[in-house]
Amino acid sequence: MSVRNAVMRERITGAAARLFQTRGIGGVTMQEVAAEVGLSKAALYHYYQSREDLLRHIFGDWARDEVERARAIAESGDDPATKLAAFVRLHLNSIVDNLDLYSLSFREEAQLPEDVREEFRALKRDNDVLVRQIVREGVASGAFEPVDETLAVFGIVGMCNWLWKWYRPGVGKNADEIAETFSHLVLHGLVLDSSAGLDAEESDPGAGALAYHARAIRHHTRQLELLLPGQ
């Protein structure tokens, strides 16, 4: 693909995403997308073969890229805690970099064509599988407490995903700073040896607050486990 075509495809997906964000997925036609970037409808089909093709790229390209980068983290030689912190950082930065799309995906996913929706959901499941792989590795090595993998993944990914609801660019902490805080909370709830955290709690009141939340995470995780069938 030429640089010119790549630039135009990026302009088209950006314009379409803005229109979908404003009017909803079902409220935007290809003609309106074409007009937004100064193309005829016929010229637009030179870049995207159909409305479904456009939607597939809008929702799939960034999700596919994140899965590939998450796979590289999961398959690296780093220890499980480092991998988990790296995933949290990756996922939060992906959300911040594609904030409008994440917001749109949570609000309008049901409006996607069925094949596009299923492909998008499959990519999200792939991401969850990779987090599960990291958690399982941490538990097996003794670095993490034995926890229900499903609940751990739901908790970690869900905490990150909710960023779309409250994050405002340029206000408060940036993605890396939020990732550092989230990772600290998650790992204090998973790391088997908590003595270091207790020492920090005595010397640093801020660390004490983090230790409190870590204990709360452990408590609520165990309570949720009791609600699972067969527990």
Q: What are 144's strand-pairing partners?
A: 191
As a CATH number, domain 1-48 is: 1.10.10.60
Domain range summary for the chain, segments of one domain joined by + = 1-48, 55-227
Give the Cα separation of 112 and 99 in Å (integer). 18
> Domain 55-227 falls in which CATH fold?
Tetracycline Repressor; domain 2 (1.10.357)
Q: Give the model confidence (pLDDT) of 33-72 as tens digits.
A: 999 999 999 999 999 998 889 988 888 888 899 999 999 9
pLDDT score for 209 = 56
| pTM of the complete model beyond 0.85 | no
Q: What are 191's strand-pairing partners?
A: 144
SS3 content of the chain, % helix, strand, coil (to 5): 80, 0, 20
Q: Which residues of the chain have pLDDT under 70?
A: 1, 189-216, 218-231
pLDDT score for 201 = 45
55-227 shares the fold of 1-48: no
pLDDT score for 194 = 46
Q: Of 64, 67, 69, 55, nearest to 13 (Cα)? A: 55
pLDDT score for 227 = 58
